[in-house]
Amino acid sequence: MASSYHPRLLHGDVSPSPSSEELLQWKSGITADPYRSYLYSYPHKTAYRDLEPPLPLNELWRDEPAESFFLYMHIPFCGARCGFCNLFTLPDKRADVHARYVDALERQARQWAPFTAHKPYARFAIGGGTPTLLAPDQLRRLFYIATDIMGLATDKVSISVETSPETLTVEKLEILKDANVDRVSMGIQSFVASESAAIYRPQDPDVVYRALELLGRYDFPILNLDLIYGLPGQTVETWLYSLNQTLSYNPGEIFIYPLYTREHTIVKPGDLERQEDIRLQCYNAARELLERHGYRQYSMRRFAKETAESHKPLLDYSCQEEGMVGLGCGARSYTRGVHYASRYGVSRKATESIIADYVAAERYDTADYGIVLEPEEQKRRFILKAILHSEGLKLSQYTERFGTLLWSDFPELALLTDSGFGLVEDDVLRLTGEALGYSDSIGDWFISSSIRERMERFVLP
Ligand code: SF4
């Protein structure tokens, strides 16, 4: 039988219980603005700065304690920039630009391979951008770089590739199949043409249907489809229409994203002021529909069938995403103590110049831009990565890793249980399904003041 407790009962000395008024105030702070900041990773990339002096990568990776690594390749090119996108990508379809980029990626891989060769890879992902925008020979080359240069064993590693409806062809799918790819992820965002057009992603639904039909023929172990809610002109009904269209293809996994806009994205926050914010309604409607169709909720954004998994015997890889080896411009790399990447930009001018520097470089053997994680930040990252997923945070694992008690280190976390947003059961702190919908505001609340300060001082080039 599951055993549950309230942290204040076990550790009555950690902090006085808040009054019901304080609790109400805290909770309404979380629920009033659920979409204030998407904490894709902690610390956020806008907290990165020049590392002075640059850190030699051979030393950084030699001391990395993760048992296995995650290899990620970033392809920072798309056909056009979507109206909501703040990822590191450049709208550029020129094959010669892509070829020079892959040349640089191969140079980088040759220099990095010896640094990480002492541990096996458990996961491999190619993301972007739109990796399948590359011509077939360049796409094939990415797998050659992964296997022949980085030493990836494709029969033991789960392999995921991002794609888009208009770039999928039989030839490219054959390449993915030959490369033993387990998971193909496709961004659809909406099945309603006017909604796609409103986010500067003109998309003919017929092209989407054709791509889905093609993907169905190749039967990858995991098909993931991405959708966005809160689009201009969208209603809860049209959102459910897109979800139902998605469900008719029976994907193993569905990611649902609330629409985020910023001053530097093409669609600005002001553009949406006149329409009602239906994101929370859409989220709740999606949860209900997806659960009814046999999908389990793993996080605010990820829903999957329990059967959606690689068919290979995989090595364990920590969900804390340490030991992430990020090749390519815009890719982030995570060791336990240092996160690093190339510089970040969104505007055409900035991304173009950052990619040009990457392509012109001869040496890739130091980390010169990123952040050194103090022990407190390592703890915060560990906590956030766990509690914003349905599996939750195993308290004994926290103590094993850091040698301290969660409730003593962060007594404020008891607010989660005080408020009913979380519960502790069988040594695990986890959020309720309702609270997972507030992951972004809970994540934002838990950012340390020093990281927040760095993020606020960041100026986009
Ligand atoms: S959302 Fe995806 S497809 Fe659209 S511009 Fe960004 S990376 Fe490219």
Residue range 46-86, pLDDT digits in tens: 999 999 999 999 999 998 988 899 999 999 999 999 988 98
Q: What torsion do the CA atoms of 74, 207, 243, 214 make, to the nearest 10 degrees?
A: -80
Confirm whether 354 is domain-assigned.
no
Asked, for residue 431, whether it belongs to a domain, the answer is yes
> Is position 337 within any domain?
no
User: How confident is the model at residue 16, as a pLDDT?
Assistant: 66
| Alpha-carbon dihedral 245, 303, 34, 419, rounded to 10 degrees | 140
Shared domain for 290 and 175, answered yes or no, is: yes
Q: Are both 96 and 173 inside the same structural domain?
A: yes
By most ligand atoms within 8 Å of CB, the mutation choice from 38, 74, 75, 81 for ligand 1 is 81
Question: Which residue matches tokens 């997972």?
Answer: 436
- In this prediction the pTM is 0.94
Residues counted in the chain: 461
242 lines ligand 1 (CB under 6 A): no
- Same domain membership, residue 279 and residue 412: no
63 and 113, same domain (yes or no):
yes
| Residue 179 resides in a domain | yes
Please work out whether the CB of residue 34 comes within 6 Å of at least one atom of ligand 1: no
**Would you say the CB of residue 81 lies under 6 angstroms from ligand 1?**
yes
Nearest residue to 325 via CA among 131, 101, 66, 144? 66
The CATH number of whichever domain residue 247 belongs to comes to 3.20.20.70
Cα 129 to ligand 1 centroid, rounded to whole Å: 6
Report the nearest atom of ligand 1 relative to the CA of 128.
7
Determine the 3-state secondary structure of 446 from DSSP: coil
Cβ atoms of residues 407 and 14 within 8 Å: yes
Per-residue model confidence (pLDDT) at position 15: 60
Of the three residues 256, 287, 304, the one that is the final residue of a domain is 304
- The residue among 304, 337, 365 that closes a domain is 304
**Partners of 127 in beta bridges:** 74
Ligand 1 contacts CB of residue 325 (under 6 A): no
Instruction: Give residue 6's pLDDT.
Output: 63
**pLDDT, tens only, 311-342:** 887 877 665 568 999 999 999 999 999 999 99
Residue 247 domain-assigned (yes or no): yes
Ligand 1 centroid to Cα of residue 78, in Å, is: 6
What local confidence, expressed as pLDDT, does residue 12 receive?
47
Ligand 1 binding pocket includes 129 (Cβ within 6 Å): yes
Query: Are residues 31 and 128 both part of a single domain?
Result: no
Q: Say if ligand 1 is within 6 A of residue 85 CB.
A: yes
pLDDT means over runs of 10, the chain (461 residues) = 58 65 91 85 94 96 91 96 90 97 98 95 95 98 98 94 96 98 96 92 90 95 96 96 97 96 83 87 97 96 92 71 91 95 89 96 96 96 95 95 94 93 94 93 96 91 76
- Whether 343 lines ligand 1, by a CB cut-off of 6 Å, is no
Total count of domains within the chain? 2
CB 323 within 8 A of CB 337: no
For the record, the structure tokens of 17 come out as: 């219980």
Q: Is 82 in the pocket of ligand 1 (CB under 6 A)?
A: yes
Range of the domain at 450: 4-41+374-457
Say how many Å lie between the CA of residue 309 and the centre of ligand 1. Answer: 25
For a mutational test of ligand 1's pocket, the pick from 74, 86, 87, i.e. the residue with the most ligand atoms closer than 8 A to its C-beta, is: 87
**185 in contact with ligand 1, CB cutoff 6 A:** no
- For ligand 1, atom 6: residue with the closest CA: 85
Same domain, 279 and 381: no
Which atom of ligand 1 is nearest the CA belonging to 78? 8
Same-domain check for residues 25 and 65: no
How far, in Å, from the CA of 83 to the mean position of ligand 1?
A: 9
- In Å, how far are 259, 265, 369 from 347, measured between CA atoms? 19, 9, 19
CATH code (residue 390)? 1.10.10.920
Q: Is the CB of 290 under 6 A from ligand 1?
A: no
Q: Is the CB of 351 under 6 A from ligand 1?
A: no
pLDDT > 90: percent of the chain: 80
DSSP code of 267?
S
Q: Is 99 part of any domain?
A: yes
Contact status, residue 191 vs residue 242, Cβ threshold 8 Å? yes
**Of 269, 304, 339, the domain-final residue:** 304
Ligand 1 near 330 CB (within 6 A): no
Distance 452 CA to ligand 1 centre (A): 26
